[in-house]
């Protein structure tokens, strides 16, 4: 062990520990190997790797640990501005001159903080359960030739493991040998890159002798490779043996964690990267701390309210000090001449400070701690309602929707942009064989998704019968073909039977699929292929009577139908060569020798390359969901690992791309890049200079294409006039306007009598102009399509602003060949480009979508065929993409409006008692003595007015769920922040000032000028306080009737029940002994209830306080109705028309 070894150990340890500080890798990881660092693994001997201090194989997605939970969760709670005020008030309550007892201030604060921490703990425990399940998976470990079962978390770098068919790889492994003699295995990587096609991996010839557990008893080797990094597609290393042999290792020898072994009995591999060093974890990011935009705005409101409170307290302190100095000597009941530190005219400054502190505590109702308790409870109840919605329940998988971050409920109603995965999200991860053309004749009457989408969009299709075709699900998965001419051997009687036979042979032979099953039962044979479309073609051959049932490295075996009565014959085809599919060739071919000895080349591929080589003579729910989301003003981005052609085809099938829409193509896959590489390779430049020049040139290419796209908007020209245009004919753009849809739905404006034709026409014209203004920056006639190479240039260069400028002008954006980490970077870029006032939602179903889901403002995971990794990391989970429509347009709209109205009402309610506390303090000469019993104020927000506002936050609806779907434009209210903005908050506060003046000064005016008790005595302090507080309970509860639009028995029960509780409290509290009830002893029974003026006062206060708001709302409804009010009026008109229109008389 010389100095060089120690230096190497130090570098490795430093690298390892620096990797622990961040869960995800970055661009520097890919360059680390260039600095001379190497990752050294002693295979089959983990103890020798101990000096490098590599991490174990445990992974986690939790936010907290046992030691970080308390400080971090407290940090999360104190991100709310109001909590700092409450903590300060708790400290002030400990002073001897505080107007309230400390327990009444500290306990509510502790309760709210504990409630928030409990919710954080509950959500993180659920994440920990998922992590524990993954870390506890078993795997066979064969280190030193001894087979034993270990848990994933127990594996170490250097361990040799044996993974069996359909098992997941527990760590990043170096493939040593497989059950196949040639060392080949098949891997499914859909959890990593979303692709369901099987990848071929092959062991090095230098390790193919390791065929059993015992063969590892004496196996020794050292792997030297690149350090852990985030690149899923690259690997470079060498395997050094004790005898001096060195074997190069590359991506074909690497098995990545969370990939699945398929169609291979078993493989042996050695752990090279474990736990946080694995590539999938390097692509992950730390779970972010998300806060809703409503919470952030609420913080701003609290700071403003605190500013108001501070100014009023300061004024109270100044007034209290001045009054103590100059007037208090005349107020004998303050005892100003005694040794009283609080009201001593000779120490007015101290009196002013005490008055200031009393003001901070007394006026504290302006900073409502009960609002945060109500928010927590309401959000949990909303989450329960979302989970119980049968409209988002998937019977096929028995999965309801789930809310994992209830603090983001209202964010669902304000989404501006959706970032979506394609595979398994926009598509069902399934291809069906529906139609084919053989020798110029079209076969198949089943309709495809493209045909159904074309029909819906009004595009004429070639085959008239397609629109009447059966669209039911296929009986055989992958085969949805309906045409008797080719079934059951009937094609043998046709004139071109030889051509049809060649077509079937191509289906059965031109592929790389593997059969599973016994030929004794041909229908039981299943296929595993590199892609769903390849599976569909082999299944089609099977259904047509050409059953591919066996494969060896040199031969393909097919059982072929030979007669119309089911006669068959087994044929063997010699496989001479396979020309695999590539993005450049866009096709795959096989060269086979037919049983007769002829050698043929069979090919299949994209039409863009296949048609040039031929003789010239020879998803509905998703679409509807996307249409509704787009009509709702939501822009759709698709981030997929697929090639550009596939992504564009899927875009048309699901109506993401529409007829007449110009496609702005930004790609580095053309010949210009090849010309650039050839030019640089012959330029005599050094490698570093060549890399720099290539980077600059690529940036120039991408910048030029982005500028071309922007010129298309500025000059409003056809894209085919641009140098790299790829456009189709323009169409009349513009998203469906809300008013126009209402006109079609109501059968004309003039028939909408409930509003009056003139008012409705004026309203619709206003709405049309507002929607047009909002959509000025978005052009529905354009879609942006960009490949991963161009995106990589944009993300690492200075083109981000230019890219976002172009992307935000398009209604749809498709990013192709995007890696998992690029998805997360794109999400960050989109959020940055949109700004704080617009929200981004990410949705996906695979592990490759986790980073994107975690970064976005709102993450939605689909529990689909690609596992539950995305769902585990998401804020909300659904079973199918189509449920996103209901989640956003219905529950998102409702939750946003409910929370908005609830907060505004809560501010109105607490400001009432806050302003009254100010008036009371003024009337008591800033002494800090309230005019009503302390227990009244203690129960005001928690008992007397708590439950009705909770009902608004959980059950109120402006429109029905059906109308939310029928009129997606209603969703734009959240995007425009129509229900919660500075203006509305200001109006709520102004309204509270007016109502508080009525509630306070009407009793003052009544009781100061007239006798109150039956014996002619004036009202006592307790009489005035109880009468005043009755109005303070009645007004906010009855005011709620102007906020609610969807009345149920629950609302009436809670509103009237809360009022009843107040009167019952007066009776019960007043019946206690005078020592407990103090001035409230028998107050209601003996004084208030018998007094007619008390009841008349309450009626007068309620009417005067609420009536102006009712008048304003009525005029607004009639003259400038909101969107939902128009829908309500339309629904009412329809119901009236239905009930008044007589039934038709039978002929």
* Angle of the 1092-1119 helix axis to the 982-1009 helix axis, nearest 10: 150
Please confirm, yes or no, whether 56 is among the known catalytic residues. no
**Contact call for residues 407 and 292 (beta carbons, < 8 A):** yes
Rounded to 5 degrees, what angle do the CA atoms 794, 795, 797 make? 65
Measured in degrees and rounded to the nearest 5, phi and psi for residue 799 equal -100, 10
Partners of 785 in the β-ladder: 665, 814
**Contact call for residues 897 and 413 (beta carbons, < 8 A):** yes
3-state secondary structure 808-860: CCEEEEEECCCCHHHHHHHHHHHHHHHCCCCEEEEEECCHHHHHHHHHCCEEE
Residue environment code for 857-876, b if the CB has 16+ CB neighbours within 10 A, otherwise e: bbbbbbbbebbbbbbbbbbb
Q: Among positive and negative, which fits the CA dihedral 975, 981, 987, 989?
A: positive
Q: Kind of pairing, strands 587-593 and 662-666?
A: unpaired
Measured in degrees and rounded to the nearest 5, phi and psi for residue 780 equal -70, -10
Number of H helices, E strands in the chain: 38, 31
Using alpha carbons, list the distances in angstroms from residue 478 to 485, 587, 643, 918.
19, 21, 22, 74
Measured in degrees and rounded to the nearest 5, phi and psi for residue 522 equal -55, -35
| Cβ atoms < 10 Å from Cβ of 918 | 21
d(Cα 242, Cα 244) in Å, to the nearest integer?
A: 5
Token pair for residue 767?
């709405």
d(Cα 817, Cα 698) in Å, to the nearest integer?
A: 17
Across 241-389, the runs of DSSP E, i.e. the strands, are 246-249, 254-255, 260-262, 266-273
Token pair for residue 1089?
């209830």
Q: Which residue has the tokens 């010389």?
A: 2
3-state secondary structure of 1046: coil
d(Cα 770, Cα 781) in Å, to the nearest integer?
A: 20
Residue environment code for 937-970, b if the CB has 16+ CB neighbours within 10 A, otherwise e: bebbbeebbbbbbebbbbbbbbbebebbbbbbbb
- Going by C-alpha positions, the residue among 144, 156, 173 that lies closest to residue 272 is 173
**Contact call for residues 580 and 639 (beta carbons, < 8 A):** no
Token pair for residue 399?
């999965």
DSSP state for residue 1138 in the 8-state scheme:
H
d(Cα 79, Cα 379) in Å, to the nearest integer?
A: 18
Rounded to 5 degrees, what angle do the CA atoms 518, 524, 530 make? 90
d(Cα 457, Cα 338) in Å, to the nearest integer?
A: 89
Token pair for residue 912?
């009432």
Helices (H), 337-417: 348-362, 369-387
- Polymer length of the chain: 1147
d(Cα 719, Cα 728) in Å, to the nearest integer?
A: 8
**Contact call for residues 269 and 176 (beta carbons, < 8 A):** yes
Annotated catalytic residue within 29, 159, 416, 421: 421
Active site residues per annotation: 421
């Amino acid at each position: 062990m010389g100095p060089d070894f120690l230096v190497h150990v130090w570098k490795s340890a430093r690298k390892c520990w620096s990797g622990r500080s961040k869960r995800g890798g970055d661009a520097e990881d890919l360059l680390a190997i260039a600095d001379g660092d190497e990752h050294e693994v002693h295979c089959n001997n983990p103890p020798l790797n101990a000096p490098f201090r590599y991490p174990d194989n445990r992974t986690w997605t939790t936010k907290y640990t046992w030691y970080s939970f308390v400080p971090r969760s407290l940090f999360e709670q104190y991100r709310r501005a109001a909590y700092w005020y409450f903590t300060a008030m708790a400290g002030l309550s400990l002073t001897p001159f505080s107007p309230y007892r400390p327990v009444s201030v500290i306990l509510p604060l502790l309760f709210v903080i504990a409630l928030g921490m409990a919710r954080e703990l509950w959500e993180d425990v659920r994440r920990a359960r998922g992590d524990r399940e993954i870390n506890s998976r078993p795997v066979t470990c064969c280190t030193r030739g001894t087979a034993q079962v270990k848990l994933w978390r127990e594996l170490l770098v250097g361990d040799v493991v044996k993974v069996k068919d359909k098992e997941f790889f527990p760590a990043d492994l170096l493939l040593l040998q497989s059950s196949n003699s040639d060392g080949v295995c098949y891997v499914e990587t859909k959890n990593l890159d979303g692709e369901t096609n099987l990848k071929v991996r092959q062991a090095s010839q230098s390790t193919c002798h390791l065929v059993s557990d015992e063969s590892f008893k004496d196996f020794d080797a050292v792997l030297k490779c690149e350090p852990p990094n985030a690149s899923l597609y690259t690997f470079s290393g060498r395997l050094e043996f004790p005898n001096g042999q060195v074997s190069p290792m590359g991506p074909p020898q690497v098995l990545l964690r969370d990939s699945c072994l398929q169609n291979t009995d078993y493989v042996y591999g050695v752990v090279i990267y474990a736990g946080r060093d694995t590539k999938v974890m390097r692509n992950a990011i730390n779970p972010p701390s998300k806060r809703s935009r409503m919470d952030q705005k609420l913080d701003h409101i609290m700071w403003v309210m605190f500013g108001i409170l501070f100014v009023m307290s300061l004024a109270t302190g100044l007034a209290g000090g001045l009054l103590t100095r100059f007037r208090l000597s005349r107020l004998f009941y303050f005892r100003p001449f005694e040794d009283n530190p609080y009201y001593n005219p000779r120490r007015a400054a101290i009196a002013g400070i005490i008055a200031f502190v009393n003001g901070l505590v007394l006026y504290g109702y302006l900073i409502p701690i009960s609002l945060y308790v109500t928010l927590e409870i309401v959000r949990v109840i909303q989450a329960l309602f979302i989970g119980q919605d049968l409209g988002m329940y998937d019977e096929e998988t028995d999965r309801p929707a789930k809310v994992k971050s209830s603090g983001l409920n209202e964010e669902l109603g304000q989404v501006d942009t959706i970032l979506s995965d394609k595979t398994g999200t926009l598509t069902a991860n399934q291809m069906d064989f529906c139609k084919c053309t053989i020798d110029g004749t079209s076969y198949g009457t089943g309709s495809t998704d493209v045909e159904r989408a074309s029909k819906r969009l009004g595009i004429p299709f070639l085959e008239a019968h397609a629109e009447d075709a059966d669209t039911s699900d296929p009986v055989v998965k992958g085969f949805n073909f309906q045409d008797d001419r080719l079934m059951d051997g009937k094609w043998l009687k046709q004139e071109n039977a030889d051509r049809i036979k060649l077509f079937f042979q191509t289906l059965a032979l031109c592929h790389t699929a593997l059969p599973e099953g016994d030929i004794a039962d041909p229908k039981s044979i299943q296929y595993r292929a590199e892609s769903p479309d390849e599976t569909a073609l082999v299944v089609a051959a099977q259904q047509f009577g050409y059953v591919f049932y066996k494969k060896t490295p040199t031969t393909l075996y097919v059982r072929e139908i030979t007669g119309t009565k089911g006669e068959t014959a087994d044929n063997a085809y010699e496989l001479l060569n396979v020309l695999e599919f590539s993005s450049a060739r866009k096709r795959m071919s096989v060269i086979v020798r037919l049983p007769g000895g002829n050698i043929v080349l069979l090919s299949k591929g994209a039409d863009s390359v296949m048609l040039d080589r031929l003789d010239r003579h020879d998803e509905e729910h998703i679409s509807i969901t996307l249409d509704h989301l787009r009509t709702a003003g939501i822009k759709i981005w698709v981030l997929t690992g697929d090639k550009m052609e596939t992504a564009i085809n899927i875009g048309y099938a699901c109506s993401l791309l529409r007829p007449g829409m110009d496609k702005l193509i930004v790609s580095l896959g053309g010949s210009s890049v090849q010309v650039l590489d050839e030019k640089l390779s012959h330029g005599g430049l050094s490698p570093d200079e060549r890399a720099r020049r290539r980077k600059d040139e690529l940036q120039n290419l991408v910048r030029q294409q982005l500028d071309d796209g922007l010129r298309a908007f500025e000059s409003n020209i056809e894209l085919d006039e641009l140098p790299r245009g790829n456009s189709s004919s323009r169409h009349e753009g513009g998203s469906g306007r809300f008013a126009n849809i209402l006109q079609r739905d109501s059968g004309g404006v003039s028939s909408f009598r409930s509003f009056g034709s003139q008012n409705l026409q004026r309203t619709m014209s206003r709405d049309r102009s507002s929607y047009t203004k909002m959509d000025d920056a978005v052009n529905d006639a354009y879609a942006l399509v960009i490949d991963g190479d161009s995106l990589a240039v944009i993300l690492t260069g200075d083109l981000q602003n230019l890219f976002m400028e172009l992307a935000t002008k398009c209604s749809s954006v498709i990013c192709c060949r995007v890696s998992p980490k690029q998805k997360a970077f794109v999400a960050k870029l989109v959020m940055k480009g949109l700004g704080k006032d617009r929200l981004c939602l990410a949705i996906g179903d695979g592990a490759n979508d986790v980073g994107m889901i975690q970064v976005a403002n709102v993450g939605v995971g689909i529990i689909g065929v690609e596992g539950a990794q995305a769902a585990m990391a998401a804020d909300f989970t659904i079973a199918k993409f189509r449920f996103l429509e209901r989640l956003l347009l219905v529950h998102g709209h409702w939750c946003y409006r409910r929370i908005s109205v609830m907060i505004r009402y809560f501010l109105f309610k607490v400001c009432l008692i806050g302003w009254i506390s100010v008036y009371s303090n003024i009337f008591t000469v800033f002494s800090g003595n309230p005019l009503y019993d302390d227990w009244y104020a203690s129960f005001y927000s928690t008992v007397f007015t708590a439950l009705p506002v909770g009902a608004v936050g959980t059950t109120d609806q402006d429109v029905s769920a059906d109308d939310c779907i029928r009129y997606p434009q209603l969703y734009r209210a959240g995007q425009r922040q129509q229900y919660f903005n500075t203006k509305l908050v200001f109006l709520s506060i102004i309204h509270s000032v007016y109502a508080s003046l009525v509630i306070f000064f009407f009793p003052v005016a009544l009781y100061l000028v007239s006798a109150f008790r039956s014996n002619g005595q004036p009202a006592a302090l307790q009489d005035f306080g109880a009468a005043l507080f009755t109005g303070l309970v009645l007004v906010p509860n009855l005011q709620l009737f102007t906020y609610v639009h969807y009345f149920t028995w629950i609302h009436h029960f809670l509103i009237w029940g809360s009022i009843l509780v107040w009167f019952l409290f007066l009776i019960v509290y007043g019946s206690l002994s005078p020592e407990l009830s103090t001035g409230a002893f028998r107050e209601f029974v003996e004084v208030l209830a018998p007094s007619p003026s008390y009841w008349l006062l309450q009626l007068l206060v309620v009417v005067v306080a609420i009536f102006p708001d009712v008048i304003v709302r009525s005029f607004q409804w009639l003259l400038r109705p909101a969107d939902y009010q128009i829908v309500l009026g339309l629904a009412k008109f329809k119901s009236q028309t239905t009930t008044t229109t007589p039934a038709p008389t039978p002929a």
